[in-house]
Chains A and B, each alone.
Chain A
């Protein structure tokens, strides 16, 4: 039925067949034979994913054909501009179990494969090729054209398929189709939360046998937060869509069987197509709806009742007036955060601080009062074996190590009762005045207070160095004369011109070479 093409073969029986630049026999048209509509969709999807679909669209034609056995098969015709394009097409077709032919008119022969790198030629033409005669190494049969299928109609008829939950990505732009009754509430909600969203009202005919015109609000949300996506998704009457390409949106959580981004030329530049899932069909909006910001369509009329006036709040009245005491506690001690040292131990403390390692010293802060020295530093104050160690209860409230508060009130409540300012550290001493407050600003790094004023002797250099950038005085200005151009002070700013070209340099200097011509011999 068919025979292999030899290298440099130039005569073929197949009409329109000829060798291309690489010697591969191709005709002007390539034909892909697909056994069913599902395979056709799979083929288009694979071509779209691979990026080949958008360049095929201008010459793509889908035809349903009937074989002599009355089976319906699908044929995709494309312009075979080069064997490279057909090679890519053949690779995709093999993936979905389709066959690729090439030729022209009504006769199409199998495209090249591994067994025949230069392609095939028909051994004998069919007597009656019908509308389409396909020649394969296993069959040669005529086909009759049943009908043409427009790719746009095919796209609109296909229903989006669900995407596994794990592969759903958070969209950058989200569209929401909201039933008319919900529109005000949803838009008002989004406006109150200052969500960057725009809204438009869309209308479309239900189609089919019905003349009903449906109406809904279409919201466009830019980079919505996840909680808005979840909220809108959970609302009955709201359907979410994500863009696929510039002119189509597909229901959120679904994808169209064919990549719509590769099919943009099939839709008009002003058109917007909304693909709904669940067999509801696609909505084609002939004009892209004019979106406006949700803030502009939100009603500003306050509907709440009048503001309540003259309300008096009454504070907490009465207390039990229990004394704040320190009691020994059996709980495990927390980390030591501070130490309170009597002022009489100042010299001892100073000598201890002076021998601490620098890393430890850097973490210590000191505040002086008339009676005590407050040493603060997490994990550092415990190294000083003087005074009373304090642990931090939280909220900058310190209690002596091994003691607890009685009554056991939380530290934040204690701060409120003590009316302490926010930056104060509270030391619960348990004395007659049980709390001592030291402002945090009173604590200075311990490294600052170790030394008093350090005497500094400012030594002077004997003379500035010879290469110091000291300007010379102009005691004797340069007189005009032979060296005027050389000595003038302004001459310094002028840079020399670009280096003369090597040819010119050689021409001047090649005639004299002191070293090479240095020898003069005689005798």
Chain B
């Protein structure tokens, strides 16, 4: 069995498939003590690392310009080790074992603490480059029925002898794909002991890689997307903000809704004014981006919206995906939105025309955010 204390084994069997695609091998728990040998690995296979880095660069290049990546940073590998441990703990047999969960939590927290929050644009990007495959990760469970009974195989392929002679032995295989979020649901502890809680560890692991956090924003309620200081600080970087907007837009309506709801929750809490302004700008830019990517229509030739329609309306059904952003936009007006986003007012107006006949909701969704950001409402 592969020993994940070895840098080469971990990189080639876990990190490599996670980045490049393929079969990810989950083994025993990895302790934080491996990080020190991994700083100067003695068994580094440059070919494997080069392949992974090339794929990583290709993936990141879809988000923005990428310079020269020299290797796999250790903080990203530490996060990968944390995710490995969390995946290892999703096995059904590990659910009720409190001592094992306690040890996994302790080790994961130690590695997360060592990795810490990302401080630079490169750290945010490279962490996402290593972990971006998490969104596509799924476990294949196999239920095999044969003439004498049945067998379940969780995450592993059934042995060849069991599925041999399928017609004679009346073998039937049912494969089930379990996506990542269902896997993470298994981390929920049966008891309420905080020492065995792995859900908070998974949340922290998401938070420490902000781009990955945005990329999988549509998560079940237990792991619902929340704004965290590392995520907001990453958005302050224009390049990362653009990448996050494109990823969320590409993910679809569910992700957009999850992010907007998180913004509303954050705005109702203790959100600093600078962060609130940044989130406002982020949502406005995302709305304008979506408006610009829709089918361009001249304002005068655009069909009038029917009377009594909710929302801004003229852009079609996609506009309903960002109610918070559109509400804030309508309340601020073209000019202020353009000034906030640094765009030309004409461009903004063409991208998102405001329907003057829209109805005003009694409880506007963007009110807490605008209040937090100190933005003045303008009646248009």
CB interface residues, B 114-134, toward A, < 8 Å: 114-122, 124-126
Instruction: In the complex, identify which listed stretch (A8-16, A136-144, A319-327, A486-494) lies at the interface while the others stay far away.
Output: A486-494
A472-B233, A519-B151 known; A512 and B113 CB under 8 Å? no
Q: Cβ of A514 < 8 Å from any Cβ of B?
A: yes
A485-B109, A496-B32, A518-B91 known; A467 and B60 CB under 8 Å? yes
- Inter-subunit contact B236/A475 (CB<8 Å): yes
**What's the Cα separation between A502 and B3 when bound, in Å?**
11
- Inter-subunit contact B229/A498 (CB<8 Å): no
Q: Cβ of B274 < 8 Å from any Cβ of A?
A: yes
Q: Cβ of B377 < 8 Å from any Cβ of A?
A: no
- Inter-subunit contact B149/A523 (CB<8 Å): yes
- Inter-subunit contact B120/A462 (CB<8 Å): no
A467-B60, A470-B120, A496-B114 known; A514 and B33 CB under 8 Å? no
Q: Cβ of B178 < 8 Å from any Cβ of A?
A: no
Q: State which of B35, B124, B233 has its C-beta within 8 Å of the C-beta of A476.
A: B233
Q: Cβ of A464 < 8 Å from any Cβ of B?
A: yes
Q: Mark B326-350, 1 if CB is under 8 A from A, else 0.
A: 0000000000000000000000000
Q: Cβ of B208 < 8 Å from any Cβ of A?
A: yes
Minimum CB–CB distance for A444 against chain B, Å: 39
A466-B121, A476-B274 known; A487 and B229 CB under 8 Å? yes
- Inter-subunit contact B97/A499 (CB<8 Å): no
**What's the Cα separation between A232 and B29 when bound, in Å?**
85
> B68: which A residues are within 8 A, CB to CB?
467
Minimum CB–CB distance for A514 against chain B, Å: 4
Q: Cβ of B65 < 8 Å from any Cβ of A?
A: yes
Q: Mark B237-252, 1 if CB is under 8 A from A, else 0.
A: 1111001000000000
> Smallest CB-CB separation from A478: which chain B residue?
B229
Minimum CB–CB distance for A167 against chain B, Å: 55
**What's the Cα separation between A478 and B118 when bound, in Å?**
12
**What's the Cα separation between A512 and B274 when bound, in Å?**
47
Q: Cβ of A166 < 8 Å from any Cβ of B?
A: no
Q: Cβ of A357 < 8 Å from any Cβ of B?
A: no
Most buried by B among A486, A500, A508: A486
**What's the Cα separation between A465 and B238 when bound, in Å?**
11
- Inter-subunit contact A514/B117 (CB<8 Å): no
**What's the Cα separation between A469 and B291 when bound, in Å?**
32
Q: Mark B4-46, 1 if CB is under 8 A from A, else 0.
A: 0100000000000000000001111101111111000000000
Q: Mark A435-467, 1 if CB is under 8 A from B, else 0.
A: 000000000000000000000000001111111
Q: Cβ of A208 < 8 Å from any Cβ of B?
A: no
- Inter-subunit contact B236/A469 (CB<8 Å): no
> B32: which A residues are within 8 A, CB to CB?
496-497
**What's the Cα separation between A488 and B109 when bound, in Å?**
13
Q: Cβ of B352 < 8 Å from any Cβ of A?
A: no
Q: State which of B67, B233, B240 has its C-beta within 8 Å of the C-beta of A474.
A: B233
Q: Cβ of A483 < 8 Å from any Cβ of B?
A: yes
**What's the Cα separation between A478 and B150 when bound, in Å?**
52
Q: Cβ of A348 < 8 Å from any Cβ of B?
A: no
Q: Cβ of A127 < 8 Å from any Cβ of B?
A: no
Q: Cβ of B302 < 8 Å from any Cβ of A?
A: no
Chain B count of residues within 8 A CB distance of the other chain: 77
Instruction: In the complex, identify which listed stretch (B153-161, B314-322, B356-364) lies at the interface while the others stay far away.
Output: B153-161
Q: Mark B65-86, 1 if CB is under 8 A from A, else 0.
A: 1111100000000000000000
> Smallest CB-CB separation from A502: which chain B residue?
B5
**What's the Cα separation between A463 and B240 when bound, in Å?**
11
> A508: which B residues are within 8 A, CB to CB?
29, 100, 103
**What's the Cα separation between A476 and B236 when bound, in Å?**
10
**What's the Cα separation between A473 and B200 when bound, in Å?**
25
> B113: which A residues are within 8 A, CB to CB?
485-486, 491, 494
- Inter-subunit contact A467/B117 (CB<8 Å): no
- Inter-subunit contact B229/A479 (CB<8 Å): yes
**What's the Cα separation between A472 and B237 when bound, in Å?**
6
Q: Cβ of B174 < 8 Å from any Cβ of A?
A: no
> B153: which A residues are within 8 A, CB to CB?
518-519
Q: Cβ of A431 < 8 Å from any Cβ of B?
A: no
A473-B233, A512-B100, A519-B152 known; A463 and B120 CB under 8 Å? no
Q: State which of A478, A499, A509 has its C-beta within 8 Å of the C-beta of B36.
A: A499
Minimum CB–CB distance for B40 against chain A, Å: 12
> B185: which A residues are within 8 A, CB to CB?
none
> A466: which B residues are within 8 A, CB to CB?
60, 63-67, 121-122, 125, 239-240, 243
- Inter-subunit contact B238/A509 (CB<8 Å): no
The 5 closest A-B pairs by CB, nearest first: A523-B149, A499-B33, A492-B116, A465-B67, A521-B151
A residues contacting B by CB (< 8 A) are: 461-479, 482-483, 485-489, 491-492, 494-500, 502, 505, 508-515, 517-523
Q: A461-B65, A512-B97, A520-B152 are in contact. List 4 more A-B contacts (CB 8 A).
A: A472-B120, A500-B31, A512-B100, A523-B149
20 contacts between A and B (CB under 8 A): A463-B64, A463-B65, A465-B65, A467-B68, A468-B120, A471-B120, A472-B233, A476-B233, A476-B271, A485-B109, A487-B229, A491-B113, A494-B113, A496-B111, A499-B31, A505-B31, A508-B103, A511-B100, A512-B94, A515-B25
